[in-house]
Amino acid sequence: MPELSVNIDHIATVRQARRGDEPDPVRAAHEAELGGADGITVHLREDRRHIQDRDVELLRALVKVRFNFEMAATDAMVAMACQIKPHSSMLVPEGRQEVTTEGGLDVAGQLPRLKDAVARLRAGGMIVSAFINAEPKQIDAALEAGFDVCEIHTGPYAAEHAKNGGDVLRLGLFRELHQIRDAGARIISAGMRFNAGHALNYHNVGPIARLPGVAELHIGHSIVSRAIYVGLRQAVREMKHEMT
């Protein structure tokens, strides 16, 4: 069974809607831990639309499990990560107008710049991850850039799962699932860690969680959505159950 890192960005989204002080992402992290989360993930966006700098500082000090920091590969973000020193940093593409991260990082097209960012982060003592599409050229480029982990973007899989009602014998869903499986095998054979995430929920997580060698899943929106009805602690427990 893979580990679960819970993304709590949207706790901060609710807080920022009123520019107040609740709900508090730090308290959310504590609830997620009590529900069995193996890690806590936040994405500090350049426009600070949800998670804020102070959140990152407090979470790094108070989170008792692995703290994963998602970030754009900018000099400012790399410098902040080196100061905060999360357990792991994940480089993701970032667009100011996007609702959520759309597509994987183009490591192959930005290799020199990303190689430098990875070297700086690793020198700061962090495990460094690339959020990429399930494409051989991106996996090979991630290895060349020095990444420790590749997190495969599961958004296309999730879209096919919804379109086909979860029927893995339907060609579109079958192809997406096997593309992720093959990407995972390539990542592992290259000596990197195979993670996965994006748009995973209680209905579609099972086939991904059962892929050979997948080490960790990163899930946020569906858990926070479920928490509205049952509480965050229980929502995390239910997701971990679906991952078995």
**Residue extents of the structural domains in the chain:** 3-242
Per-block mean pLDDT, blocks of 10 residues, the chain (244 long) = 98 96 98 98 96 98 98 96 98 73 90 97 98 98 98 98 96 98 98 98 98 98 98 98 97
Looking at residue 103, its pLDDT comes to 87
Bridge partners, 217 (sequence order): 4, 196
How does DSSP classify residue 6?
A: E
How many C-beta neighbours within 10 Å does residue 161 have?
26
Looking at residue 94, its pLDDT comes to 85
Containing 152, the helix (H) or strand (E) segment is strand 149-153
Axis-axis angle for helices 75-84, 111-123 (nearest 10): 20
pTM: 0.96
Homologous superfamily of the 3-242 domain (CATH): Aldolase class I (3.20.20.70)
Catalytic residue positions? 43, 70, 198
Residue 39 class from Cβ within 10 Å (0-12 exposed, 13-18 middle, 19+ buried)? buried
Angle at the Cα of 106 (from 53 to 87), degrees rounded to 5?
40
Angle at the Cα of 150 (from 126 to 8), degrees rounded to 5?
70
Written as one string, the DSSP assignment of 154-186 is: -HHHHHHHHHTTT-TTSHHHHHHHHHHHHHHHH
